[in-house]
Amino acid sequence: MAIKEQPIEDAAARVVANEQVLSRQLTARQLAMIALGGAIGTGLFLGSGLSVRIAGPGIIITYLIGAVIALLLMGALSEMAVAHPTAGSFGVYAEIYLSPGVGFVTRYTYWAAQVIAIGGEMVAVAIYCQWWFPGVPEWVWITGFSAALVYVNARNVGSFGTFEYWFAMIKVVTIVLFIIFGVAVMLGVGGLGTKQGIGLQNYTAHGGFLPHGWTGVWQAIVFVIFSYIGVETVAVTAGEAANPREAVPRAMRSMVGRLIFCYLGAIMILVGVVPWDQLLPGSKIQASPFVKVFELVGIPAATHVMNFVVLTAALSSINCNLYLVTRTLFSLARGGYAPAAFGAVNRRGTPVNALLASTGGLAVAVWLAEAYPDSAYVHLFGIALFGGLFAWLLIFMTHLRFRQVWQDRGGAPLPVRMPLYPYTSILGAALLIAILATMWWVEGMRVAIESGVPWLVLLSLAYLAWKKRRGSSPN
């Protein structure tokens, strides 16, 4: 889909038309909540224990850094999503503005990363359930919940949007209540905490605010940035938005604001109520640190409620990720890069074949949970993180080319524009490159580089082989 000899808007229109067998039913509020559902998951509720171990209370600064990167990404992505509302999203944008090969590698890498992320989320679901029922094997929970979520995704996108809206709302409301509860504990309101309240002592009393220095604050970004991956869902849902030109910018603004408030508020309470060194996971993660807050404060009944919430958070995230991988594989098929059957839709406008093919991560989760019960989550986390960061990096690189080409070729005025272009996209790309480099030095994350780089090489070779075969085809 090169744009060499035609106006940019003609190339974009062809791409959108090629994928527009999907049904446009999603509203702005559904787009925002679907993106929140994809972002707020185990990265916050389970992975925060790993980041706190590295940064201590300084994790608050790390989440601020993550928020800056997410804001930069949303600014760049919103421009392109409004100009080209298509399910292939940033993979299609990379194909149009960089090269077909880059678009091919981007979409397949993101698809594989999210498929693996689904497996990691399902391992987390099993961990939450075993907190209640330690005698039930993990594969039972993974299999049962997998079947239920595949059913939800097989329905029409309007039903999916309504389901996920309320699913994600549980998480948002709970985080707000958690923040209110934490403030009460810190102030000693209602007999919670101590009579005088905990105050701010836990931010500095156990080795200081930066117990591992600024190095710890930066290294923790490797885990924290995973909490923000999923915000790009808004761009993917643009392909099924009822009115993308208005709905996408509105959804992105509301989603990013809510996400940053939830993350910063929750993390400040987490390390403010309980000493950070009491939240550290052992050799095997056995519960969410948010559940441990209520255990250590001494409110046993609330721990069950919180465990239910983090369970629904993980399931909501899986639900969104299934949507993402399905539409990504659908886009690849519509572009001719995957079997045509994956680009077909049923009478409800849902690409069921692509959905079923994308559930491989669930099978991987079942196997890994049994084969490596102590390390499955961390390994899946690392590999999925590499793929997500690679996709983010390509979004910034694509945006740099997008704005230049759009202006040079007389594209229509954009209703959303990223301020301080090109410096914002350059800064975002530089920060992501730094995070990818840091992964090599963080314990347990080197596996992501060792797996991710060969994957990119393999995909590049696969594209060259595909291109050569297509070039020799009589068609």
The number of beta carbons lying within 10 Å of the beta carbon of residue 27 is: 18
The span from the CA of 326 to the CA of 356, in Å, is 8
Question: Residue 182: what pLDDT?
Answer: 82
Question: Residue 379: what pLDDT?
Answer: 63
The SS3 of residue 241 is strand
User: Cα dihedral sign for 18, 23, 29, 31?
Assistant: negative
Nearest to 354 by CA among 383, 384, 380, 322: 322
The span from the CA of 124 to the CA of 48, in Å, is 13
The SS3 of residue 26 is strand
The span from the CA of 414 to the CA of 423, in Å, is 19
Q: Tokens 């995957």 map to which residue?
A: 338
Question: Residue 1: what pLDDT?
Answer: 40
pLDDT in tens, the chain (475 residues): 443 444 555 655 666 666 665 666 777 777 777 777 777 766 676 667 778 888 899 999 999 999 999 989 988 888 888 888 787 788 888 988 888 889 899 888 888 888 877 877 787 788 888 888 888 888 888 888 888 888 888 887 777 778 888 878 888 888 888 888 888 888 877 655 555 567 788 888 888 899 999 999 999 998 888 888 878 877 777 777 777 777 777 777 777 788 888 889 889 988 888 888 877 655 455 556 777 676 666 666 777 777 787 788 788 888 888 888 888 888 888 888 888 889 888 877 788 888 888 887 667 766 766 677 666 656 666 677 788 899 999 999 999 999 888 776 666 677 778 888 899 999 999 999 999 999 888 877 787 888 788 888 888 898 888 888 776 554 4
What domains does the chain contain, in order, with CATH numbers? Answer: 8-467 (1.20.1740.10)
Question: Residue 468: what pLDDT?
Answer: 80
Nearest to 385 by CA among 52, 31, 50, 148: 50
Question: Residue 237: what pLDDT?
Answer: 76
Structure tokens at 171: 């998480």
pTM of the model: 0.84
The span from the CA of 9 to the CA of 16, in Å, is 10
Question: Residue 424: what pLDDT?
Answer: 94
Structure tokens at 210: 């930066």
